[in-house]
Chains A and B, each alone.
Chain A
Amino acid sequence: MSEPSFVSVTDLHKSFGDNHVLRGVNLQLDRAESLVILGGSGAGKSVFLSHLIGLVQADRGSVVIDGENWAELDRKQTYGLRKRFGMSFQEGALFDSMTVFDNIAFPLRRQARNMGQAEIKDRVAECLETVGMPGIAKLMPNELSGGMRRRVGFARAIALKPEILLFDEPTTGLDPIMTTVLGEVIIQMREQLKATTITITHDISSAKLIAGRVAMMFKGELVHQADRDEFFNCDDPIVRQFVDGKSQGPATEALIKR
């Protein structure tokens, strides 16, 4: 590798008390690559995404984005680097005191200060259209179903057209059609905006759709990173068990222990 990767994670460790969640994660990702992370519940996928965007600091190891190491940034630089990110949360994490419109407009108002009211309005409408829910801008988050909230969270993440997009289980609990639609949006973001996307999902078919590369989070490590076709055809027992959804195998023990 001649020039350093866009996203570079080396030997990342994180514990919460006695719970050693991340145990040496390594990842190199170039610009405009699309990574899908698979893995059982509680494997540490969400915690890993929090490290990527600097919400949590590593116990050991480093997370470097485009040459900038989160651990070495001061407050201003931290927020500066975060402006290049968009993230949708597994929990949705919509501001429940604001309407859907204000939720999606939040990053636009906060970060694109030169944007006018009309422009913001257009962009919010466009984002809602993208996730298949035009005309719900005036509703409050508590008036939406779980799947709708998740899609609003997705819309909020892409509103600023950021360089790096992190999606934490964006399609869990959505119907198959919407799952494919969101998958296509992720592909679009990469192809049109040259965005780097990292998506956590349990849905194998959408993983096959959006992934350039796939990695498996297992026992706090990213095991078996490979290009899409290679990944889904490999015969690593852990990967095979997960992809084929079998109840017996090497991954079962790790899942049930948690």
Chain B
Amino acid sequence: MLSAIGSRVLAFTESAGKFSLFTARALTALVRPPYEWRETMKQLERIGVASFPVVAVTCLFTGMVFTLQTYDGFARFQAESYVPGILGVALLRELAPVIGGLMMAGRVGSAMAAELGTMRVTRQIDAMEVMATDPLQYLVVPRMLATILMLPLLIAMGDLIGIWGGWYLISVVLDAPLPGFFDRVFDFLEPFDFWSGMIKSLFFGFVIATVGCYKGLTTRGGAEGVGTNTTNAVVYASLGILVSDFFLTRLLT
């Protein structure tokens, strides 16, 4: 029993060490020339542009649901006029980065793990190494850059869409228009509310890409290995987002 726990702790420490080493090597590769512009552009398109609909729908409904819940609660003491401000803060600081980040972990992190994992088990990664091309530089860095750049952009657009969702809910669905809804949102918000969400998104993008690429490149054992590692990539990236969100929130409040 004790030795079983011991070996699990040991295995955990070992994989944590390997992951840290991978992250450090990826960061070194990030600043080392040559820069793979073509690959990076491709990933910007695949990761950023193609993810917009998912993030948009996520933020739209998150904004609407949050508004519905708070409106209902605040109506009990006639404080409906505070709903827009609360919506803005909650969405920008917390809801859009975290829920959007989780969606991106599912969409982008899994795709990275599956793609790189398949390349690993079919020896395409080895073939790349043999042709004197560093997979870290050619495959990992473009994905990392693209996710780190694109996630804040997507979340910023998601912020706006979510706020619009709140307005739509109140004025059209509930048919109880609050005059000056958008003014109330933006009067209440401080610039730092926005920036703290951006910092979170940037960090979550980093988590998604490193976990996804790490799980992909360390895949073993055929189709089954690709399956488990893809699942693990999503689970670990999501956990990473939720846990780091707590610490980031502590830092940023």
Contacts and interface: CB of A to CB of B under 8 A. Distances in A.
Interface of A: 50, 53, 55, 75, 79-80, 82-83, 85, 87, 89, 91-97, 106-107, 110-111, 156
A53 B132 contact: no
A79 B132 contact: yes
A96 B130 contact: no
Which range contains the number of B residues in contact with the other chain?
Answer: 10 to 19
Contacts of B7: none
A154 to B, nearest CB: 12
29 contacts: A50-B126, A55-B126, A75-B134, A79-B132, A79-B133, A79-B134, A82-B131, A82-B132, A83-B132, A87-B127, A87-B130, A89-B126, A89-B127, A91-B123, A92-B122, A93-B124, A93-B126, A93-B127, A94-B127, A95-B119, A95-B127, A95-B128, A96-B118, A96-B122, A97-B115, A107-B131, A107-B132, A110-B131, A111-B131
Contacts of B190: none
A93 B119 CA distance: 8
A111 B138 CA distance: 14
Contacts of A110: 131-133
B136 to A, nearest CB: 10
Contact of B124 (A50, A55, A87, A95): A95
A10 B129 CA distance: 24
A111 B132 contact: yes
Contacts of A50: 126
Contacts of B132: 79-80, 82-83, 107, 110-111
Contacts of A96: 118, 122, 124
A156 B131 CA distance: 10
Contact of B122 (A75, A79, A82, A91): A91
A146 to B, nearest CB: 13
Nearest to B127: A93
A199 to B, nearest CB: 16
Nearest to B130: A87
A96 B116 CA distance: 11
B129 A55 contact: yes
Closest 6 CB pairs of A and B: A93-B127, A93-B123, A79-B132, A107-B131, A82-B132, A83-B132
A97 B127 CA distance: 14
Nearest to A84: B132
A54 B20 CA distance: 24
A105 to B, nearest CB: 11
A247 to B, nearest CB: 29
Interface in B201-243: none
A53 B123 contact: no
Nearest to A106: B131
A93 B122 contact: yes
Nearest to B131: A107
Interface string B120-160: 00111011111111100000000000000000000000000
B161 to A, nearest CB: 32
Contacts of B127: 87, 89, 93-95, 156
A4 B85 CA distance: 78
B174 to A, nearest CB: 48
B123 A89 contact: yes
Contacts of A89: 123, 126-127
